[in-house]
Structure 1
């Protein structure tokens, strides 16, 4: 199911003639895409070849659900193959953002096992089962609806493709910012038994073991592939009260895939994947305790319980920035226990009328975590969250061509359903407040989609691209909100006035949302080395219901978010394909922008409400460059600029918040990497040094000149992370690697939680300097 790397002596128009091929399957990306990353596998081949063959190769992606040369695709895409991810030291899903311009990942404050993904200003700033992301995640073609457990390990990856801008016609709802396509390696049908064994050790007592085995059972007909990884590491935050370490790693992940090709035109792949993590993750550090609250609320942390530390200021001196953020003193041990199981099936059938692809799958997520949110030794603010969710989906599509190949298109239909529960229990100011607050939501969602997208060649150089989709989401929910007496468990109050004790269930409701995303554009190829394009996209993020309603009024559902975006760009292979430059500029407008906000009612109950309270705009540019400067030295660079602004933002309480920070969106990002490789008497050496920089990033919308200290704590500092890696290929089978990440030990935090009613802000520290060695042994190749 892989595509061979094509030499650039082949024209890109020849690759177009291969349409249609396998859709949404595992695609072989031979080099890093979007003109940015340069795959070490290809680099080694090129280094051993004559100088005249030292060129950037063709990158094959499926951003339009057919296999195409990236440089022919009028979409902004960054792609990495498995070797490139290894060269960058990418271990977890969040590492993908480090070298993707305009893409950022932020661990959730309410659930660090989940991530808020941001592209082009589109982001969901909270993680609940009723809230939809702005960035769609697809693994082996299967849509992963929820971010819970998303930060699992990257195991046996074939390639990752990050599509930017609204992708609603082909990839459906909840892709207003883009989509991430992650493909794992399919079984190889021939070649005998093969695989690898890998061991990694490092500081913080890291020890990771990986085994991959590929076994053809019937030559060219049937094969299975298994991958298993166990990864452990001590935490990098120490509790000065107990000596316990937090933010450790203890992950186990396994995958089995089977592939059957009974005929030359039928290919079937099924897989099962399991992930389990049991860690002491989620340690917050108190950043600031306000002398008076920036918002009305209950008793302040700053005047709370006497402790051996005496005052909050003394506590901050002990654990705050002056000592780094490697020490805390917590009253409750944070933990995350998460397990997922995912089953996927894909069948590709070539016929006389075109190529059919059928993708189906089931995914279950179970997650429990406890967080000491205020990050202090006082029992001031903590929460426990539980999620038990499952999903099923199916997609059927047909790719074909008409009019002698001048018209190519993909038509298809999708079905998705999801159910389960999402609950949380919060305690605040424990010694003086005997009550706990619990929210629970049971969801029942269905979604259908019908789509058509195609390309018509107006001339040999100009193409018209257009697509449309009908999307319908039907969402059902039953919620309960209850305040109970902690000591007895007795109901103190049903939060919604029409609810009845003891369950305090609010009336169930079902809401339907519909939209028609579409796209239209033109692309122009003056020659085989240039592509110039422009397009307009109309995207859609589904509406939904409130999981944490505290009254009949706050049960009102929120409407879909609509994004209209104009994008223009060019892709160029220059200097006889020794330099690749891809640039995209865009401007988007957002209507009914969804924002999640923490409110406090007159009963001193904190609750989260998602509102359609804003209109926003964002303008930006993204650029990616790869240059083969010499036979041995390659430079990669990328950068992005964003300028997001609220046009209007009136919240449910009538407050004008248009001056607030635009959360989780850095205005500037850039990366720079140098790769040097050469043959030595000990083997082939590949050395890489890279630097990724992210500008100031608001982690909370709060921006009030009357409270400058509070406003300052929610702005993440601009920070750059330096990494290095050197791999010596001793033989064709054995690689030895030394590596280091965050070599300057940059300690700028990576998220902030501000709770004005309690008078504090706390932060999530960045992972410190890590280093180690890796040994990889490949067999059967």
Structure 2
């Protein structure tokens, strides 16, 4: 409904009167701004955050209007002039940093309308959420709106017709989240676990899609991106980034825009870029287990065309476990990590922006120890309960070292009406080594070590733009990688030893296009295609060593095995309908795939050279997104069905060495529902909740020629995931603000391996033995913020994690009958707590 002029006048005056008096007059010096073409409301909100302004406007005035891209140096007035080009709207600074957007005929009257402010309807506020909470009018602002780049262009989160969760800067900052390890349950049907004892390696499951074998050769099911750069392997993905702007979790296949190995979804980490203004933050934390962390960022003033930002952190912690009878250590799961990032932005012209990033992360630890929760023969005396123990005894080193580093250069060129051309060039490297006690007992039963060197290179070109009713994304992508692993193993007190290793390469090419066309003002049709061509090679050597000497079991040097080649076309189609300005519905079809390849860790030549096929997933999804009660409630619902062909499963194969191979087991169907809600019932209380439900079923599972679909468990697919968070501003005063925060995540039980529900032979292990029980993880924080310290502001936080002290295993590995029925269990971290002090300037 069109707002009356008097109401518009009063709304603008409300903003004027309620504005905080601490704001100074906005600087008129030109600054560097880069943002893509967006709907006008989203563009104004994003610009407000970058420029430090509060921009007030009426939703009805900006609805249906689009703003051009910003890419260059502008004063605030110049940038606003450009954003409002062709809209019929103008801007006026009415007080301090408060800007009113209105039609030219009404804005001058709005400045003088102070007498009728209490009768005013709400104007949308394009400002940071913390500002919105600073005054009595905060309740009128509603829920923070988040801009995401899930479809390679900037859009309001609620306007994107896919199932996506975005974790905002405020959420990340208050909870000190710096890596993906803290993401479990923050989005429906999302589960993130460490891979057994390797704490720098992740197993990310979205909607039941996961790669259970985290060996560096195998491909993940969820694509991980850092500032648009694909991180290809699960190993080494748990690294710290000191200054994250937001994290986007895209659920369902993202094959068109994100390509291979985003069959279950994608996780995108977006860092804060240099601002060109002096500022920064320093933070110190201390907690139990002698936990110490120092984190900092420094944003330097612009010099010439350059802006620079430095960030990093160092973390140390004693072990969670006391270890006896070990020649190498007296503790387990101690942690020592360092990470850093250098970001340089150059703007040679108003049309060209160059962003260079170097990041590095080094982590070293006594790994998470094994609990032998099952074992026969010599293992039997050392079997432990299925609860996390404090005191352990094992004989191996249990050490892990991971170094990951990379360079990225992103160039964005504004071509005017043609669009924005972006180039993303990146190289990443990894050096990893470990030495693991696989059985967790004082006897030398099973030990393994690895030395890994890995390198990847990627180049992507994107063209994004808009013409009339058509938005388009066109792109080309190239990727190659190379890795080598040395992996000696020893079993049965050294009676069975192997010296083994493998190497691999990948080359992949892709071209893609996605078009969004507005059939009407309310109805948008999206169509996309991606063509991928890839080639993989493998080399493998395996030697058995006994008292009688050594025997070569596999000798496949580079070039001995013909390469595996794959081609795939991945389509997507979406129909989105705007029921009203606050309610959207959509229907979507998307296809994704996980790459095929060789079983590089196999124990025979035939198994090594066997080529498993790509896993293909077709997903059908309907969704509903809404902003209700004057944007005090956001409710999103999605329902989906995944039809999976050539399902890849990791199967443990006992033999000369402990190894797993990937097989195309058959077909599966996963159905589910996801509900997300955000509510701000008062200006002091923010509530968020998410519920995910999965029903996973094999339609075909071929084992030795027999279909056992009704007698196998689906891995890493909990039926229920539930999250709930509450952030209550318990106290607001001139001297500061006190927030009480509680986060609860619940995951129902799930299986770590595709095991028989009812064993049909004496050598099989029942699925119940590898079932991880349901768990509830409760975290809480007390945050005292906005404490004035000269020209800076300080924050003090008291925090606790896993306050319920969950002790059940979250990952189990079954080594089978030939390894004395050994089942190795791994556990989440125990209860931790501490204090953090930070200062921001």
Secondary structure of 2:369's aligned partner: coil
Deviation per CA, 1:697-746, whole angstroms, max 9, x where unpaired?
A: 11122234358985333111111011111111122511111111111111
Given the superposition, is the C-alpha separation of residues 657 and 524 from structure 1 closer, same or farther in structure 2, using an over 3 Å criterion? closer
Which residue is equivalent to 2:19?
none
The 2-side partners of 1:40 and 1:329 are apart by 55
Given the superposition, is the C-alpha separation of residues 360 and 239 from structure 1 closer, same or farther in structure 2, using an over 3 Å criterion? same
Q: Work out whether 1:195 is the aligned partner of 2:280.
A: yes
Which residue is equivalent to 1:534?
587
Given the superposition, is the C-alpha separation of residues 168 and 321 from structure 1 closer, same or farther in structure 2, using an over 3 Å criterion? closer
Secondary structure of 1:71's aligned partner: helix
| Alpha-carbon shift at residue 286 of structure 1 (Å) | 1.0
Which residue is equivalent to 2:831?
769
Given the superposition, is the C-alpha separation of residues 681 and 66 from structure 1 closer, same or farther in structure 2, using an over 3 Å criterion? closer
2:395 to 326, 331, 339: 331
Q: Work out whether 1:617 is the aligned partner of 2:669.
A: yes
Given the superposition, is the C-alpha separation of residues 263 and 480 from structure 1 closer, same or farther in structure 2, using an over 3 Å criterion? same
The 2-side partners of 1:51 and 1:648 are apart by 55
Secondary structure of 1:643's aligned partner: strand
2:487 to 424, 446, 450: 424
Mean Cα deviation higher: 709-718 or 145-154:
709-718
Q: Work out whether 1:495 is the aligned partner of 2:553.
A: yes
| Alpha-carbon shift at residue 538 of structure 1 (Å) | 1.5
Which residue is equivalent to 1:590?
644
Which residue is equivalent to 1:156?
243
1:287 to 373, 378, 383: 373
The 2-side partners of 1:91 and 1:62 are apart by 20
- Kept in 2, the 8 Å contact 1:271–1:345? The answer is yes
Deviation per CA, 1:600-643, whole angstroms, max 9, x where unpaired?
A: 35xx5543211112210000011111111122122111110011
The 1-side partners of 2:539 and 2:389 are apart by 41
Q: Work out whether 1:144 is the aligned partner of 2:231.
A: yes
- Kept in 2, the 8 Å contact 1:611–1:652? The answer is no
| Alpha-carbon shift at residue 82 of structure 1 (Å) | 3.0
| Alpha-carbon shift at residue 656 of structure 1 (Å) | 3.2
Which residue is equivalent to 2:413?
349
Which residue is equivalent to 1:106?
193
Which residue is equivalent to 1:749?
809
Deviation per CA, 1:306-326, whole angstroms, max 9, x where unpaired?
A: xxxxx52xx34xx5347x422
Which residue is equivalent to 1:28?
none
| Alpha-carbon shift at residue 12 of structure 1 (Å) | 10
Secondary structure of 2:183's aligned partner: helix
Which residue is equivalent to 1:475?
536
The 2-side partners of 1:8 and 1:666 are apart by 44
Q: Work out whether 1:384 is the aligned partner of 2:449.
A: yes
The 2-side partners of 1:131 and 1:425 are apart by 19
- Kept in 2, the 8 Å contact 1:482–1:491? The answer is yes
- Kept in 1, the 8 Å contact 2:185–2:722? The answer is no
Q: Work out whether 1:256 is the aligned partner of 2:342.
A: yes
Matches within 5 A, 1:140-289: 140-189=227-276, 191=277, 193-218=278-303, 221-242=305-326, 244-289=330-375
The 1-side partners of 2:56 and 2:593 are apart by 39
Mean Cα deviation higher: 374-383 or 12-21:
12-21
Structure 1 unaligned regions, length at least 5: 23-38, 290-301, 306-310
Secondary structure of 1:304's aligned partner: helix
Mean Cα deviation higher: 237-246 or 348-357:
237-246
> TM-score, normalising length from structure 2?
0.82
| Alpha-carbon shift at residue 46 of structure 1 (Å) | 2.4
| Alpha-carbon shift at residue 692 of structure 1 (Å) | 0.7
- Kept in 1, the 8 Å contact 2:446–2:491? The answer is yes
Deviation per CA, 1:370-411, whole angstroms, max 9, x where unpaired?
A: 111111111111111222100111001111222xx2011010
- Kept in 2, the 8 Å contact 1:19–1:66? The answer is no
Given the superposition, is the C-alpha separation of residues 470 and 581 from structure 1 closer, same or farther in structure 2, using an over 3 Å criterion? same
The 1-side partners of 2:372 and 2:707 are apart by 28
1:457 to 497, 505, 518: 518
Given the superposition, is the C-alpha separation of residues 606 and 701 from structure 1 closer, same or farther in structure 2, using an over 3 Å criterion? same
- RMSD (CA atoms): 2.3
Secondary structure of 2:181's aligned partner: helix
The 2-side partners of 1:11 and 1:209 are apart by 47
Given the superposition, is the C-alpha separation of residues 363 and 338 from structure 1 closer, same or farther in structure 2, using an over 3 Å criterion? same
Deviation per CA, 1:539-592, whole angstroms, max 9, x where unpaired?
A: 121111110233343121111110000010010000010000111110010000
| Alpha-carbon shift at residue 156 of structure 1 (Å) | 0.7
Given the superposition, is the C-alpha separation of residues 40 and 421 from structure 1 closer, same or farther in structure 2, using an over 3 Å criterion? farther
The 2-side partners of 1:408 and 1:249 are apart by 47
Given the superposition, is the C-alpha separation of residues 515 and 173 from structure 1 closer, same or farther in structure 2, using an over 3 Å criterion? same
Q: Work out whether 1:733 is the aligned partner of 2:820.
A: no
Q: Work out whether 1:370 is the aligned partner of 2:435.
A: yes
The 1-side partners of 2:444 and 2:519 are apart by 68
- Kept in 2, the 8 Å contact 1:536–1:567? The answer is yes
Q: Work out whether 1:304 is the aligned partner of 2:378.
A: yes
The 2-side partners of 1:85 and 1:531 are apart by 27
Given the superposition, is the C-alpha separation of residues 161 and 605 from structure 1 closer, same or farther in structure 2, using an over 3 Å criterion? closer
The 1-side partners of 2:692 and 2:794 are apart by 38
Deviation per CA, 1:653-710, whole angstroms, max 9, x where unpaired?
A: 7573652111111110001111110314652111111211000011122234358985
Given the superposition, is the C-alpha separation of residues 262 and 426 from structure 1 closer, same or farther in structure 2, using an over 3 Å criterion? same
Deviation per CA, 1:216-246, whole angstroms, max 9, x where unpaired?
A: 2326x31111112110011112213347111
| Alpha-carbon shift at residue 52 of structure 1 (Å) | 5.5
- Kept in 2, the 8 Å contact 1:12–1:72? The answer is no
- Kept in 2, the 8 Å contact 1:137–1:143? The answer is yes
- Kept in 1, the 8 Å contact 2:783–2:798? The answer is yes
| Alpha-carbon shift at residue 506 of structure 1 (Å) | 8.8
Given the superposition, is the C-alpha separation of residues 112 and 676 from structure 1 closer, same or farther in structure 2, using an over 3 Å criterion? closer
Which residue is equivalent to 1:297?
none
The 1-side partners of 2:335 and 2:558 are apart by 38
Given the superposition, is the C-alpha separation of residues 74 and 413 from structure 1 closer, same or farther in structure 2, using an over 3 Å criterion? same
2:67 to 10, 13, 18: 18
Deviation per CA, 1:450-485, whole angstroms, max 9, x where unpaired?
A: 000010111111000110010011111111122124
The 2-side partners of 1:7 and 1:203 are apart by 46
Given the superposition, is the C-alpha separation of residues 720 and 180 from structure 1 closer, same or farther in structure 2, using an over 3 Å criterion? same
> TM-score, normalising length from structure 1?
0.89
Say which one has the larger Rg.
Answer: 2
2:205 to 115, 118, 133: 118
Deviation per CA, 1:36-60, whole angstroms, max 9, x where unpaired?
A: xxx9961453242414533113210
The 2-side partners of 1:634 and 1:773 are apart by 23
Given the superposition, is the C-alpha separation of residues 681 and 195 from structure 1 closer, same or farther in structure 2, using an over 3 Å criterion? closer
- Kept in 2, the 8 Å contact 1:719–1:748? The answer is yes
Secondary structure of 1:83's aligned partner: helix
- Kept in 2, the 8 Å contact 1:695–1:718? The answer is yes
